[in-house]
Amino acid sequence: MGSWALAVIAAIVLVYAGLSRGLDRTPITAAIFFLTSGVVFGSKGLGWIDVAARSSDLRVLAEVTLTLVLFADASRIDFPALRKEYSLPLRLLGVGLPLTILAGWAVGAGLFSSLNVGELLILAVILAPTDAALGQSVVTDPRLPSRIRQGLNVESGLNDGICVPLLLIALAVAQAEIGSESTEHAVRLVVEAIGYGVLLGAVAGLVGAVSLLLAQRHGLAGDSGRKVLAVATAALAYGLAAPPGGSGFIAAFVAGFAFGHVDRRSELGATELVGELGELSNAATFILFGAAFVGPVLAGLTWSTAVYGLLSLTAIRMIPVWISLVGSKAKPPTVAFLGWFGPRGLASIVFTVIVLDEGSVPHFSTITVAVVFTIVVSVYAHGLSAHPLTSRYVRWFDARPSDRHLPMESVHAAPQRWRRPWHVQWH
Protein backbone atom coordinates (compact mmCIF):
# COMPACT_ATOMS: atom_id res chain seq x y z
CA MET A 1 0.00 0.00 0.00
CA GLY A 2 1.33 3.43 -0.94
CA SER A 3 2.88 5.71 1.67
CA TRP A 4 0.03 8.23 1.51
CA ALA A 5 -2.77 5.67 1.48
CA LEU A 6 -3.24 5.62 5.25
CA ALA A 7 -3.53 9.40 5.38
CA VAL A 8 -6.12 9.38 2.59
CA ILE A 9 -8.16 6.65 4.33
CA ALA A 10 -8.01 8.54 7.62
CA ALA A 11 -9.11 11.74 5.88
CA ILE A 12 -12.10 9.96 4.29
CA VAL A 13 -13.22 8.62 7.68
CA LEU A 14 -12.66 12.05 9.23
CA VAL A 15 -14.84 13.73 6.60
CA TYR A 16 -17.60 11.17 7.07
CA ALA A 17 -17.49 11.54 10.85
CA GLY A 18 -17.81 15.31 10.53
CA LEU A 19 -20.71 15.09 8.06
CA SER A 20 -22.50 12.03 9.45
CA ARG A 21 -25.42 13.83 11.05
CA GLY A 22 -26.16 15.74 7.86
CA LEU A 23 -25.72 12.63 5.71
CA ASP A 24 -28.30 10.83 7.82
CA ARG A 25 -30.91 13.08 6.25
CA THR A 26 -29.84 12.06 2.73
CA PRO A 27 -29.94 8.74 0.81
CA ILE A 28 -26.14 8.50 1.14
CA THR A 29 -25.36 5.67 3.57
CA ALA A 30 -21.97 5.06 5.14
CA ALA A 31 -21.33 2.13 2.78
CA ILE A 32 -22.10 4.30 -0.25
CA PHE A 33 -19.80 7.04 1.03
CA PHE A 34 -16.85 4.76 1.82
CA LEU A 35 -17.15 2.56 -1.27
CA THR A 36 -17.46 5.56 -3.59
CA SER A 37 -14.50 7.24 -1.89
CA GLY A 38 -12.41 4.12 -2.41
CA VAL A 39 -13.25 4.05 -6.12
CA VAL A 40 -12.51 7.78 -6.57
CA PHE A 41 -9.16 7.63 -4.79
CA GLY A 42 -8.20 4.12 -5.93
CA SER A 43 -6.00 2.86 -8.75
CA LYS A 44 -8.64 3.47 -11.44
CA GLY A 45 -9.40 6.92 -10.07
CA LEU A 46 -6.96 9.48 -8.67
CA GLY A 47 -4.50 6.77 -7.66
CA TRP A 48 -3.99 8.08 -4.13
CA ILE A 49 -4.83 4.71 -2.58
CA ASP A 50 -2.59 2.27 -4.41
CA VAL A 51 -3.39 -1.19 -3.08
CA ALA A 52 -3.56 -4.52 -4.88
CA ALA A 53 -6.35 -7.03 -4.39
CA ARG A 54 -3.78 -9.59 -3.19
CA SER A 55 -2.11 -7.10 -0.84
CA SER A 56 -1.05 -8.50 2.53
CA ASP A 57 -2.27 -5.25 4.11
CA LEU A 58 -5.76 -5.88 2.77
CA ARG A 59 -5.70 -9.49 3.98
CA VAL A 60 -4.66 -8.44 7.48
CA LEU A 61 -7.33 -5.73 7.62
CA ALA A 62 -9.97 -8.19 6.41
CA GLU A 63 -9.02 -10.77 9.03
CA VAL A 64 -8.95 -8.22 11.86
CA THR A 65 -12.30 -6.81 10.79
CA LEU A 66 -14.07 -10.16 10.60
CA THR A 67 -12.53 -11.31 13.90
CA LEU A 68 -13.80 -8.22 15.73
CA VAL A 69 -17.21 -8.30 14.07
CA LEU A 70 -17.78 -12.01 14.75
CA PHE A 71 -16.75 -11.64 18.39
CA ALA A 72 -18.95 -8.58 18.83
CA ASP A 73 -21.94 -10.21 17.12
CA ALA A 74 -21.71 -13.37 19.23
CA SER A 75 -21.25 -11.38 22.43
CA ARG A 76 -24.53 -9.55 21.82
CA ILE A 77 -26.68 -12.67 21.55
CA ASP A 78 -29.33 -12.46 24.24
CA PHE A 79 -30.63 -16.01 24.52
CA PRO A 80 -33.54 -15.17 26.85
CA ALA A 81 -34.75 -12.59 24.31
CA LEU A 82 -34.28 -15.03 21.43
CA ARG A 83 -36.21 -17.73 23.27
CA LYS A 84 -39.17 -15.36 23.44
CA GLU A 85 -39.07 -14.63 19.71
CA TYR A 86 -37.02 -17.14 17.76
CA SER A 87 -39.47 -18.01 15.00
CA LEU A 88 -38.47 -15.49 12.32
CA PRO A 89 -34.66 -15.69 12.81
CA LEU A 90 -34.89 -19.49 12.90
CA ARG A 91 -36.83 -19.55 9.64
CA LEU A 92 -34.41 -17.14 7.92
CA LEU A 93 -31.28 -18.91 9.17
CA GLY A 94 -32.42 -22.53 9.37
CA VAL A 95 -34.38 -22.65 6.10
CA GLY A 96 -33.66 -19.49 4.12
CA LEU A 97 -29.86 -19.55 4.42
CA PRO A 98 -29.32 -23.18 3.27
CA LEU A 99 -31.78 -22.71 0.43
CA THR A 100 -30.01 -19.49 -0.61
CA ILE A 101 -26.71 -21.35 -0.83
CA LEU A 102 -28.34 -24.20 -2.77
CA ALA A 103 -30.03 -21.75 -5.14
CA GLY A 104 -26.78 -19.84 -5.63
CA TRP A 105 -25.00 -23.07 -6.50
CA ALA A 106 -27.73 -24.15 -8.92
CA VAL A 107 -27.91 -20.80 -10.74
CA GLY A 108 -24.11 -20.69 -10.94
CA ALA A 109 -24.06 -24.17 -12.47
CA GLY A 110 -26.37 -22.92 -15.20
CA LEU A 111 -24.36 -19.78 -15.94
CA PHE A 112 -20.72 -20.81 -15.42
CA SER A 113 -19.81 -24.05 -17.15
CA SER A 114 -16.11 -23.57 -16.35
CA LEU A 115 -16.59 -23.70 -12.57
CA ASN A 116 -16.46 -27.03 -10.78
CA VAL A 117 -18.74 -28.04 -7.90
CA GLY A 118 -16.44 -26.68 -5.22
CA GLU A 119 -15.97 -23.35 -6.96
CA LEU A 120 -19.73 -22.96 -7.42
CA LEU A 121 -20.18 -23.69 -3.73
CA ILE A 122 -17.55 -21.07 -2.83
CA LEU A 123 -19.42 -18.48 -4.90
CA ALA A 124 -22.75 -19.37 -3.29
CA VAL A 125 -21.36 -19.27 0.27
CA ILE A 126 -19.51 -15.98 -0.25
CA LEU A 127 -22.75 -14.28 -1.30
CA ALA A 128 -25.01 -15.95 1.30
CA PRO A 129 -24.42 -13.76 4.42
CA THR A 130 -26.25 -10.46 4.69
CA ASP A 131 -25.19 -7.09 6.11
CA ALA A 132 -28.15 -5.25 7.62
CA ALA A 133 -26.11 -2.08 8.14
CA LEU A 134 -26.17 -1.41 4.39
CA GLY A 135 -29.88 -0.60 4.68
CA GLN A 136 -29.57 1.29 7.93
CA SER A 137 -33.15 2.59 8.24
CA VAL A 138 -34.49 -0.97 8.01
CA VAL A 139 -32.94 -1.93 11.35
CA THR A 140 -33.20 1.45 13.09
CA ASP A 141 -36.62 2.81 12.14
CA PRO A 142 -38.91 2.36 15.18
CA ARG A 143 -41.98 2.64 12.94
CA LEU A 144 -41.29 -0.83 11.57
CA PRO A 145 -42.86 -3.79 13.38
CA SER A 146 -40.25 -4.90 15.92
CA ARG A 147 -40.48 -8.53 14.83
CA ILE A 148 -39.52 -7.63 11.26
CA ARG A 149 -36.76 -5.24 12.28
CA GLN A 150 -35.20 -7.60 14.80
CA GLY A 151 -35.58 -10.61 12.52
CA LEU A 152 -33.41 -8.99 9.84
CA ASN A 153 -31.01 -7.74 12.49
CA VAL A 154 -30.52 -11.15 14.10
CA GLU A 155 -30.20 -12.85 10.70
CA SER A 156 -27.42 -10.45 9.73
CA GLY A 157 -25.68 -10.86 13.09
CA LEU A 158 -25.51 -14.64 12.90
CA ASN A 159 -25.28 -15.69 9.26
CA ASP A 160 -21.67 -14.61 8.71
CA GLY A 161 -20.54 -16.75 11.66
CA ILE A 162 -22.56 -19.69 10.35
CA CYS A 163 -21.04 -19.30 6.87
CA VAL A 164 -17.41 -19.43 8.05
CA PRO A 165 -17.29 -23.25 8.45
CA LEU A 166 -19.33 -23.62 5.25
CA LEU A 167 -16.69 -21.60 3.38
CA LEU A 168 -13.96 -23.85 4.76
CA ILE A 169 -15.87 -26.90 3.51
CA ALA A 170 -16.38 -25.29 0.08
CA LEU A 171 -12.65 -24.54 -0.18
CA ALA A 172 -11.79 -28.11 0.75
CA VAL A 173 -14.18 -29.46 -1.90
CA ALA A 174 -12.67 -27.18 -4.55
CA GLN A 175 -9.11 -28.13 -3.66
CA ALA A 176 -9.93 -31.83 -3.64
CA GLU A 177 -11.57 -31.56 -7.08
CA ILE A 178 -8.53 -29.98 -8.73
CA GLY A 179 -6.18 -32.40 -6.98
CA SER A 180 -4.20 -29.81 -5.01
CA GLU A 181 -5.25 -31.68 -1.87
CA SER A 182 -6.34 -35.27 -1.41
CA THR A 183 -9.88 -35.79 -0.21
CA GLU A 184 -8.65 -37.23 3.09
CA HIS A 185 -6.29 -34.31 3.65
CA ALA A 186 -8.99 -31.76 2.78
CA VAL A 187 -11.41 -33.39 5.23
CA ARG A 188 -8.74 -33.39 7.94
CA LEU A 189 -8.04 -29.69 7.39
CA VAL A 190 -11.73 -28.84 7.71
CA VAL A 191 -12.15 -30.93 10.85
CA GLU A 192 -9.06 -29.32 12.40
CA ALA A 193 -10.17 -25.82 11.44
CA ILE A 194 -13.62 -26.27 12.96
CA GLY A 195 -12.51 -28.44 15.90
CA TYR A 196 -9.59 -26.30 17.05
CA GLY A 197 -11.63 -23.18 16.36
CA VAL A 198 -14.48 -24.27 18.61
CA LEU A 199 -12.24 -25.74 21.34
CA LEU A 200 -9.70 -22.94 21.61
CA GLY A 201 -12.36 -20.28 21.11
CA ALA A 202 -14.18 -21.72 24.10
CA VAL A 203 -10.94 -21.66 26.11
CA ALA A 204 -10.25 -18.03 25.20
CA GLY A 205 -13.83 -17.04 25.93
CA LEU A 206 -13.71 -18.75 29.31
CA VAL A 207 -10.41 -17.05 30.19
CA GLY A 208 -11.80 -13.68 29.16
CA ALA A 209 -15.09 -14.23 31.02
CA VAL A 210 -13.34 -15.29 34.23
CA SER A 211 -10.98 -12.33 33.97
CA LEU A 212 -13.95 -10.00 33.53
CA LEU A 213 -15.72 -11.47 36.57
CA LEU A 214 -12.62 -11.16 38.74
CA ALA A 215 -11.98 -7.61 37.53
CA GLN A 216 -15.53 -6.62 38.41
CA ARG A 217 -15.74 -8.49 41.71
CA HIS A 218 -12.47 -7.14 43.10
CA GLY A 219 -12.45 -3.75 41.46
CA LEU A 220 -9.27 -4.54 39.55
CA ALA A 221 -10.14 -2.72 36.32
CA GLY A 222 -12.06 0.37 35.33
CA ASP A 223 -14.37 0.81 32.35
CA SER A 224 -11.53 1.30 29.88
CA GLY A 225 -9.66 -1.73 31.20
CA ARG A 226 -12.71 -3.97 30.86
CA LYS A 227 -13.23 -2.80 27.28
CA VAL A 228 -9.60 -3.53 26.42
CA LEU A 229 -10.05 -6.93 28.04
CA ALA A 230 -12.79 -7.73 25.54
CA VAL A 231 -10.57 -6.81 22.58
CA ALA A 232 -7.76 -8.91 24.07
CA THR A 233 -10.11 -11.88 24.39
CA ALA A 234 -11.03 -11.68 20.71
CA ALA A 235 -7.34 -11.50 19.79
CA LEU A 236 -6.52 -14.38 22.15
CA ALA A 237 -9.15 -16.56 20.51
CA TYR A 238 -7.74 -15.96 17.04
CA GLY A 239 -4.14 -16.26 18.25
CA LEU A 240 -4.74 -19.60 19.98
CA ALA A 241 -6.69 -21.20 17.14
CA ALA A 242 -4.65 -20.18 14.09
CA PRO A 243 -1.23 -21.81 14.85
CA PRO A 244 -2.50 -25.43 15.14
CA GLY A 245 -4.65 -25.00 12.02
CA GLY A 246 -7.91 -23.91 13.60
CA SER A 247 -10.15 -21.18 12.22
CA GLY A 248 -9.51 -17.95 14.08
CA PHE A 249 -12.88 -16.67 12.92
CA ILE A 250 -14.78 -19.60 14.41
CA ALA A 251 -12.74 -19.19 17.58
CA ALA A 252 -13.61 -15.49 17.82
CA PHE A 253 -17.30 -16.26 17.32
CA VAL A 254 -17.31 -18.97 20.00
CA ALA A 255 -15.31 -16.80 22.43
CA GLY A 256 -17.83 -14.01 21.98
CA PHE A 257 -20.62 -16.26 23.30
CA ALA A 258 -18.90 -16.88 26.65
CA PHE A 259 -17.59 -13.37 27.12
CA GLY A 260 -20.86 -11.72 26.11
CA HIS A 261 -22.90 -13.85 28.52
CA VAL A 262 -20.88 -12.54 31.48
CA ASP A 263 -20.84 -9.00 30.13
CA ARG A 264 -24.62 -8.85 29.71
CA ARG A 265 -25.36 -10.35 33.12
CA SER A 266 -22.99 -7.88 34.77
CA GLU A 267 -24.25 -4.96 32.60
CA LEU A 268 -20.68 -3.71 32.15
CA GLY A 269 -20.78 -2.78 28.46
CA ALA A 270 -17.30 -4.24 28.05
CA THR A 271 -17.82 -5.20 24.40
CA GLU A 272 -18.48 -1.65 23.21
CA LEU A 273 -14.87 -1.06 22.19
CA VAL A 274 -14.78 -4.30 20.19
CA GLY A 275 -17.85 -3.17 18.28
CA GLU A 276 -16.47 0.32 17.69
CA LEU A 277 -13.12 -0.98 16.45
CA GLY A 278 -14.98 -3.43 14.24
CA GLU A 279 -17.01 -0.61 12.68
CA LEU A 280 -13.88 1.51 12.13
CA SER A 281 -12.05 -1.33 10.41
CA ASN A 282 -15.30 -2.05 8.54
CA ALA A 283 -15.16 1.46 7.09
CA ALA A 284 -11.52 1.01 6.07
CA THR A 285 -12.38 -2.33 4.47
CA PHE A 286 -15.06 -0.76 2.27
CA ILE A 287 -12.65 2.01 1.24
CA LEU A 288 -9.91 -0.45 0.27
CA PHE A 289 -12.45 -2.72 -1.41
CA GLY A 290 -13.49 0.21 -3.59
CA ALA A 291 -9.89 1.11 -4.32
CA ALA A 292 -8.50 -2.36 -5.02
CA PHE A 293 -11.42 -4.32 -6.45
CA VAL A 294 -14.21 -2.29 -7.99
CA GLY A 295 -12.47 -0.55 -10.90
CA PRO A 296 -9.97 -3.27 -11.87
CA VAL A 297 -12.31 -6.22 -11.36
CA LEU A 298 -15.44 -4.81 -12.97
CA ALA A 299 -13.45 -4.14 -16.12
CA GLY A 300 -13.83 -7.87 -16.68
CA LEU A 301 -17.62 -7.88 -16.19
CA THR A 302 -19.48 -10.29 -18.49
CA TRP A 303 -23.18 -10.82 -19.10
CA SER A 304 -23.14 -14.06 -17.10
CA THR A 305 -21.52 -12.52 -14.02
CA ALA A 306 -23.89 -9.53 -14.22
CA VAL A 307 -26.93 -11.81 -14.50
CA TYR A 308 -25.71 -13.90 -11.57
CA GLY A 309 -25.24 -10.79 -9.42
CA LEU A 310 -28.73 -9.49 -10.17
CA LEU A 311 -30.28 -12.89 -9.50
CA SER A 312 -28.29 -13.18 -6.26
CA LEU A 313 -29.95 -10.02 -4.95
CA THR A 314 -33.41 -11.03 -6.13
CA ALA A 315 -34.54 -14.59 -6.90
CA ILE A 316 -31.67 -16.41 -5.16
CA ARG A 317 -32.46 -14.50 -1.95
CA MET A 318 -36.18 -13.84 -2.23
CA ILE A 319 -37.48 -17.27 -3.20
CA PRO A 320 -35.73 -19.03 -0.25
CA VAL A 321 -37.07 -16.35 2.11
CA TRP A 322 -40.57 -16.92 0.72
CA ILE A 323 -40.22 -20.69 1.23
CA SER A 324 -38.90 -20.17 4.77
CA LEU A 325 -41.99 -18.13 5.64
CA VAL A 326 -44.51 -20.71 4.42
CA GLY A 327 -46.88 -21.41 7.32
CA SER A 328 -45.93 -18.22 9.18
CA LYS A 329 -49.05 -16.37 7.93
CA ALA A 330 -46.81 -13.51 6.79
CA LYS A 331 -48.54 -11.16 4.35
CA PRO A 332 -47.10 -10.71 0.81
CA PRO A 333 -45.69 -7.21 1.55
CA THR A 334 -43.81 -8.65 4.53
CA VAL A 335 -42.42 -11.53 2.49
CA ALA A 336 -41.27 -9.13 -0.23
CA PHE A 337 -39.76 -6.71 2.31
CA LEU A 338 -37.80 -9.44 4.13
CA GLY A 339 -36.72 -10.95 0.83
CA TRP A 340 -35.40 -7.74 -0.67
CA PHE A 341 -33.50 -6.51 2.36
CA GLY A 342 -30.69 -9.03 2.35
CA PRO A 343 -27.76 -6.71 1.45
CA ARG A 344 -24.34 -8.19 0.69
CA GLY A 345 -21.49 -6.40 2.40
CA LEU A 346 -18.67 -6.96 4.86
CA ALA A 347 -18.68 -10.76 5.17
CA SER A 348 -18.76 -11.20 1.38
CA ILE A 349 -15.83 -8.79 1.00
CA VAL A 350 -13.75 -10.50 3.67
CA PHE A 351 -14.52 -14.00 2.37
CA THR A 352 -13.45 -12.87 -1.11
CA VAL A 353 -10.13 -11.49 0.14
CA ILE A 354 -9.42 -14.65 2.12
CA VAL A 355 -10.19 -17.03 -0.75
CA LEU A 356 -8.23 -14.85 -3.19
CA ASP A 357 -5.21 -14.98 -0.89
CA GLU A 358 -5.40 -18.79 -0.78
CA GLY A 359 -4.57 -18.78 -4.50
CA SER A 360 -5.73 -22.37 -5.01
CA VAL A 361 -8.99 -21.78 -6.91
CA PRO A 362 -8.30 -21.84 -10.69
CA HIS A 363 -11.33 -19.85 -11.81
CA PHE A 364 -11.48 -17.39 -8.95
CA SER A 365 -11.38 -14.44 -11.36
CA THR A 366 -14.91 -15.34 -12.47
CA ILE A 367 -16.04 -15.70 -8.86
CA THR A 368 -14.45 -12.37 -7.94
CA VAL A 369 -16.16 -10.46 -10.74
CA ALA A 370 -19.57 -11.90 -9.81
CA VAL A 371 -19.06 -11.13 -6.10
CA VAL A 372 -17.75 -7.60 -6.63
CA PHE A 373 -20.57 -6.72 -9.02
CA THR A 374 -23.15 -8.08 -6.56
CA ILE A 375 -21.72 -6.13 -3.63
CA VAL A 376 -21.49 -2.86 -5.57
CA VAL A 377 -25.08 -3.14 -6.81
CA SER A 378 -26.22 -4.08 -3.30
CA VAL A 379 -24.49 -1.12 -1.64
CA TYR A 380 -26.27 1.36 -3.88
CA ALA A 381 -29.58 -0.47 -4.46
CA HIS A 382 -30.22 -1.35 -0.83
CA GLY A 383 -28.83 1.92 0.49
CA LEU A 384 -30.92 4.11 -1.81
CA SER A 385 -34.10 2.02 -1.45
CA ALA A 386 -33.98 1.50 2.32
CA HIS A 387 -35.78 4.67 3.39
CA PRO A 388 -38.47 4.84 0.66
CA LEU A 389 -39.33 1.14 0.87
CA THR A 390 -39.34 1.25 4.67
CA SER A 391 -41.75 4.21 4.58
CA ARG A 392 -43.94 2.40 2.05
CA TYR A 393 -44.03 -0.75 4.18
CA VAL A 394 -44.85 1.28 7.30
CA ARG A 395 -47.75 2.96 5.48
CA TRP A 396 -49.08 -0.45 4.49
CA PHE A 397 -48.75 -1.76 8.05
CA ASP A 398 -50.39 1.32 9.60
CA ALA A 399 -53.28 1.11 7.13
CA ARG A 400 -54.35 -2.31 8.43
CA PRO A 401 -57.65 -2.06 10.31
CA SER A 402 -57.07 -2.14 14.05
CA ASP A 403 -59.48 -5.02 14.45
CA ARG A 404 -57.58 -7.22 11.97
CA HIS A 405 -54.85 -9.05 13.80
CA LEU A 406 -51.70 -9.69 11.77
CA PRO A 407 -50.39 -12.92 13.34
CA MET A 408 -46.89 -12.56 11.90
CA GLU A 409 -46.24 -8.82 11.78
CA SER A 410 -47.91 -7.70 15.01
CA VAL A 411 -45.93 -9.81 17.47
CA HIS A 412 -43.50 -7.77 19.53
CA ALA A 413 -39.87 -8.88 19.58
CA ALA A 414 -37.39 -7.98 22.30
CA PRO A 415 -34.52 -5.80 21.04
CA GLN A 416 -31.18 -7.35 20.13
CA ARG A 417 -27.95 -5.33 20.09
CA TRP A 418 -26.49 -6.50 16.81
CA ARG A 419 -24.05 -4.76 14.56
CA ARG A 420 -25.19 -1.16 14.39
CA PRO A 421 -25.13 0.99 11.26
CA TRP A 422 -22.09 3.26 11.06
CA HIS A 423 -24.09 6.46 11.35
CA VAL A 424 -24.95 5.58 14.96
CA GLN A 425 -21.31 5.18 15.83
CA TRP A 426 -20.19 8.63 14.72
CA HIS A 427 -22.73 10.76 16.59
Within-domain flag for 219: yes
Instruction: Please report the pLDDT score of residue 423 as a whole number.
Output: 46
**What residues make up the domain containing 352?**
5-413
The CA-based angle 161-252-343, given to 5 degrees, is: 30
CATH at residue 104:
1.20.1530.20
How many independent structural domains does the chain possess?
1
Query: Residue 348 and residue 333: Cα distance in Å, rounded?
Result: 27
| Dihedral, CA of residue 33, residue 37, residue 40 and residue 41, to nearest 10 | 180
Instruction: Establish if 67 belongs to a structural domain.
Output: yes
Residue 381 CA to residue 344 CA, distance in Å, equals 11
Spatial contact of 255 and 198, defined as CB atoms under 8 Å apart: no
In this prediction, residue 180 carries a pLDDT of: 60
Tell me, yes or no, whether 220 lies in a domain.
yes
Q: With respect to residue 420, please indicate whether it lies within any of the assigned structural domains.
A: no
Confidence at residue 262, expressed as pLDDT on a 0 to 100 scale: 76
Which pLDDT does position 415 carry in this prediction? 61
User: How many helices and strands, by DSSP H and E, does the chain display?
Assistant: 20, 0
Report yes or no on 195 lying in a domain.
yes
Q: What is the pLDDT of residue 425?
A: 46
pLDDT profile of the chain (427 residues), mean per 10: 83 91 84 94 88 82 89 79 77 95 96 92 95 76 83 85 88 78 72 89 91 78 80 94 89 88 69 84 93 87 95 97 92 93 91 81 88 96 92 86 64 60 47
The residue type of 358 is: E
Domain assignment of residue 113, yes or no: yes
Residue 426: inside a domain, yes or no? no
- Classify residue 418: in a domain, yes or no: no
* Per-residue model confidence (pLDDT) at position 359: 64
Exposed/middle/buried for 180, CB within 10 Å: 0-12, 13-18, 19+? Answer: middle
Which DSSP letter does residue 421 get?
A: P
